[in-house]
Structure 1
Amino acid sequence: MQYFDVILLALLAAFVLYRLGRVLGRRPDDSGSRMFRRPGRDDNVVSLPGRPVRNALPRRAAKKSETGDEEALAAAGVAEIRMQDPTFDVQDFLAGARAAYEMVVTAFAKGDRDTLKRLLTRDVLESFSRAIAEREERGETLETTIVGVRTADVTDARMAGRIAEVTVKFVSDIINVVRKTGVVADSPGAPPVKEVTDIWTFVRDVRSGDPNWALAETHSPT
């Protein structure tokens, strides 16, 4: 009986680890690699740097006012990516994108450049780093609380040569408080929760052995 219990517990543990891996954006194969890299260590509206991006990757024309057209573009793009990378799964990708979104927003607020380095392309990292440095020079700190991510939807996807590009629209509830270092601020009440919409584009070289996606563009809806 004890031997049976040990086997049952082992099977249960294996199932839990499998599900956890998928939620974190692991590929469905046995490589154990993640689609989004995890860092090694664990009344203000604040815009992330890089919005809007003027030197963004060329975007296909789409009638953004018509949801059906946008969804059709995204579906066609996903199919295009899957032709080059059959392991690509939209739900796994979005789970990883949500986690990456929260990590990037939190790391930017904390000025955690090491975490950002693992999640951003070089150009976006430089933009974020400049914004952090300017904030530090002003003697300001940013406190960000992500109350929750309401939605995360793929709005565009495509292949650009060997580079897969997936654009995700995030709608989240966020509390941002900017403080001046050494200044005790009045506390008239709790800071307001703001609804924030971000449109982020993630990229990955499908021929690379690295399965991780990187944030290549951020902007706000026009």
Structure 2
Amino acid sequence: MLLFGCEFVDMYNLLQRYIKCSKDASMNIPESITIVDFVILIITLFLGYQIYRALGMRTGTEKKRHGFSPRDVSPSHQESAKAQDENEVREELTQIDDPKLALKLEKIIKADPSFHINQFLQGVKNAFELILKRFLEGDKAALKPLLSPQMYNQFSALIDQREKKKQTADLAFFRMVNAEIVEAECQRKTVRMRVLITSEQTLLIKEGDNKVVDGDPDYIDTVTDTWTFERKIDSGSSIWILKEIADVSE
């Protein structure tokens, strides 16, 4: 602030000399310019400069922002990313205990490089909970794009049956325990994955005035199912459709 004050005095003295010279040259400069006018001028210019900086006006000398597009990636970076991806795939395959299943999955990965085992299993867990909740809510519209036509008809019939009895379903407790691939196949660009899913649930069926007619609110049931998902590699869609459900709970 002290520096600004010194510069201000120097500029004011310079302006006064300019006015004096201008009057001597008979220029039409007002004689009423005072130090107050000059202060207002300097403050206006200073504020204008600060606003200019705050708005980030481009002058052509700014540094390029971080980030890149695929065109900016050098071949060496592309090769590095590919190598890292291949390492992740190999690591995922080593987690498969069944050698025959691992070989099938490796063939599927070659046919569909976008497939990753861990990502698929996380998607299965999400889909399992989503489908279960939508079924219990009776939301057929949300279920339809996630199920095969046969599975949709089965779900729809069960929902209709529940509504006919004027019953509601309440998932009082849910916890996903595990999901693992137990079978895999690829035929004519169609990939099928059978997944063993274990979850803990407290499912209550109610009717009338919230009267529980099936299920125990104090009991957590361990449920084990196999869900078979299907996807066409050349469909352009990343959605896996639920094809079949089998109960293997003891």
**Residue 140 of structure 1: CA displacement?**
1.0
**Residue 191 of structure 1: CA displacement?**
3.1
1:134 aligns with 2:130: no
Which segments of 5 or more consecutive residues in structure 2 lack a partner in the other structure? 1-53, 57-65, 68-80, 83-95
Equivalent-residue separation in structure 2 for 1:150 and 1:184 (angstroms)? 29
* Superimposed CA distance per residue, residues 39-62 of structure 1 (whole angstroms, 9 cap, x where no aligned partner): xxxxxxxxxxxxxxxxxxxxxxxx
Aligned partner of 1:205: which letter? K
Partner residue in 1 for 2:176: 149
TM-score by length of 2: 0.57
Contact kept in structure 2, 1:70 and 1:156, CA below 8 Å? no
1:108 aligns with 2:108: no
User: Identity over the aligned pairs, expressed in percent?
Assistant: 25
Partner residue in 2 for 1:197: 224
Aligned partner of 1:101: which letter? F
**Residue 80 of structure 1: CA displacement?**
2.1
Partner residue in 1 for 2:238: 211
Give the number of aligned pairs. 159
Contact kept in structure 1, 2:205 and 2:212, CA below 8 Å? no
Shift of the 71–146 alpha-carbon distance from structure 1 to 2, 3 Å rule, reads farther
Partner residue in 1 for 2:200: 173
Aligned-partner SS, 1:204: strand
Aligned-partner SS, 1:212: coil
**Residue 183 of structure 1: CA displacement?**
5.4
* Superimposed CA distance per residue, residues 190-209 of structure 1 (whole angstroms, 9 cap, x where no aligned partner): 43110000100000000111
**Residue 168 of structure 1: CA displacement?**
0.7
Partner residue in 2 for 1:80: 107
**Residue 134 of structure 1: CA displacement?**
0.7
- State the Cα RMSD in Å: 2.9
Higher helix share: 2
Q: Which of 172, 188, 193 lines up with 1:161 in the alignment? A: 188
Shift of the 209–191 alpha-carbon distance from structure 1 to 2, 3 Å rule, reads same
Aligned-partner SS, 1:118: helix
Taking CA–CA contacts closer than 8 Å with sequence separation of 6 or more, which of the two structures ends up with the larger relative contact order?
Answer: 1
Aligned-partner SS, 2:236: coil
Alignment of 1:60-79 (within 5 A): 71-79=98-106
TM-score by length of 1: 0.64
Shift of the 78–184 alpha-carbon distance from structure 1 to 2, 3 Å rule, reads same
**Residue 145 of structure 1: CA displacement?**
3.7
Equivalent-residue separation in structure 2 for 1:146 and 1:79 (angstroms)? 37
Q: Which has the larger radius of gyration?
A: 2
Equivalent-residue separation in structure 2 for 1:70 and 1:218 (angstroms)? 23
